[in-house]
């Protein structure tokens, strides 16, 4: 049997396995961004990016704020940066 915590780890790795979500996460480490700029960055449609953002938010990895008609997202779990850095170091060593 697999624990709820282990299920969340699996979800985290699934999240990292998607190019669009990976680009979004990497970009947000430089600061918050709105959906429009993330759409341009990802080269995807706004509904597609919004779906990915909702997924990341449901995993409790992002937080957001609204200003006028814009929604700005930012990283909630700073440990994601360490996971990415450690993964890149792991790949470099092989």
- Residue 35 near residue 50 (C-beta atoms within 8 A): yes
CATH number at residue 29: 1.10.10.10
Q: pLDDT per residue over 31-76, tens digit each?
A: 999 999 999 999 999 999 999 999 899 888 999 999 999 999 999 9
Integer CA distances (angstroms), 10 to 4, 30, 39, in order = 10, 25, 26
- For the chain, percent of residues with pLDDT exceeding 70: 98
For 67, the domain range is: 4-93
- For the chain, percent of residues with pLDDT exceeding 90: 53
The pLDDT of residue 94 is above 60: no
pLDDT at residue 93, as a whole number: 65
The structure's pTM equals: 0.81
Total count of domains within the chain: 1
- Residue 7 near residue 47 (C-beta atoms within 8 A): no
Q: Average per-residue pLDDT in the chain?
A: 89
């Amino acid at each position: 049997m697999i624990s709820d915590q282990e299920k969340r780890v699996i979800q985290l790795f699934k999240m990292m396995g998607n190019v669009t979500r990976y680009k979004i996460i990497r970009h947000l480490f430089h600061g918050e961004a709105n959906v429009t700029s993330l759409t341009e960055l990802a080269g995807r449609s706004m509904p597609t990016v919004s779906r990915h953002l909702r997924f990341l938010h449901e995993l409790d990895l992002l937080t957001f704020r609204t200003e006028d008609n814009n929604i700005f997202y930012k990283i909630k779990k700073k440990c994601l940066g360490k996971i990415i850095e450690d993964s890149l170091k792991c790949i470099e060593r092989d």
